[in-house]
Structure 1
């Protein structure tokens, strides 16, 4: 038996089951970091969109350029523009019209933010499952160590160490995959909630500005003329 205890030797000489566990954990960890890079880019873009939307609302610039922006802002303003085109219905107060505007704008925002969610469940799954997958590899490695002791009738460290080492290495891989996944999932979930809150606050003010200048629905105007 090869008793070398370098990392590569642990992987190469490990039991096939333990090797499979290690491979699953390594692939999961790499996938988590790939998701992380993609989410960092997406959240950077969303923060910029939130800042631009808040600035436009604060400057009262949406009325002069209601189709400005891109991404989330464009989707929100497009939904508002469609609703404003219909105008205020007969018997509907401006407050009720404002509430209707807020609703369609929030729906557009939620639809855009949902596009950021894919990948987050994978982070949560790895964060919760990876330690147990590593623990399975640990148990299997220790079982191999006891089997080696029983087969050689030798309890020296040279016989026990390789199995224990690969068992602990599987545990370490499980923690290396799980800890960043949990931290990143919590971070991205929190960031998503904060962005939604920022957009909601800006949407409230944008709806107020739009409702203030919206005209009555053509049908309502015709009925009023009669």
Structure 2
């Protein structure tokens, strides 16, 4: 009798309980797999800084290297922009001075010990005139042209020093970032295997950290390529200015040969 009374009471309570409470109880017992994931595997801080802190040591090293490469890129851009602007301004003033005519002695005196590129051209021409004892002939012009060509090449190499690293960064940074991505995704799959779950909460953080390495690779590579091409164009214009200065010096020598005027005080002695 007692067992039958208990069953009857249960039926009465089930009839009295709202259906919503019954559905809630069933939902508690049938929660999705997401709720079964440990808190340590739930999504972490997915901000760029948070992803960097939670990344693998290899991925961190890749990110730090790419950030350093980006810093080098902008440092080279700033330094070379200032250097080229100063050098171009001096070269323009020297070329205008040579276009006004005058003798080689006056041009050398205007240099006044300066060591800029066009001043080096003028002083090199003056040195060859001294070694030639002031004899202005076809052989002298050939020797001067050879000297000017060598000085132009040396000055171009000097002004171009340091931009080669931009080409290296632009060519290699995407592949370095891709390496970090591959490594991070590999670690994500290892985490899936160890946790025995394919829940997105487990996979997403590792993949996001891996993709951040590729993003940093592109951030480092794209400015490097753009800045390298820009500096290459500016250096080409700078070299054209040096060629103009060399041409003006050769014209000055040619005028001296035609009029048989001396180009150095030593030749008048």
TM (normalized to structure 1)?
0.86
Q: What is the Cα deviation at residue 139 of structure 1? A: 0.5
Q: Does 1:150 align with 2:150?
A: no
The within-5 A match list for 1:138-217 is: 138-213=181-256, 215=262
d(CA) in 2 for partners of 1:200, 1:119: 22
Q: Does the Cα contact within 8 Å between 2:63 and 2:213 map onto a contact in 1?
A: yes
1:179–1:61 CA distance, 2 compared to 1 (3 A) = farther
Partner of residue 84, structure 1: 129
Count of residues in correspondence between the two structures: 217
The within-5 A match list for 1:1-226 is: 1=40, 3-61=44-102, 63=104, 64-69=106-111, 70=114, 71-87=116-132, 94-213=137-256, 215=262
d(CA) in 2 for partners of 1:24, 1:113: 30
Q: What is the Cα deviation at residue 89 of structure 1? A: 8.4
Question: Which structure has the larger Rg over C-alpha atoms?
Answer: 2
Q: Does the Cα contact within 8 Å between 1:76 and 1:106 map onto a contact in 2?
A: no
Which stretch of the first structure deviates more once superposed, 184-193 or 93-102? 93-102
Q: Does the Cα contact within 8 Å between 2:66 and 2:220 map onto a contact in 1?
A: yes
d(CA) in 2 for partners of 1:112, 1:24: 32
Q: Which runs of 4+ in 1 moved over 6 A?
A: none
Q: Does the Cα contact within 8 Å between 1:67 and 1:78 map onto a contact in 2?
A: no
Structure 1: which 5+ runs fail to align? 218-226
Q: Does the Cα contact within 8 Å between 2:118 and 2:245 map onto a contact in 1?
A: no
1:119–1:26 CA distance, 2 compared to 1 (3 A) = same
Which stretch of the first structure deviates more once superposed, 58-67 or 78-87? 58-67
Structure 2: which 5+ runs fail to align? 1-39, 265-269
Q: What is the Cα deviation at residue 62 of structure 1? A: 5.4
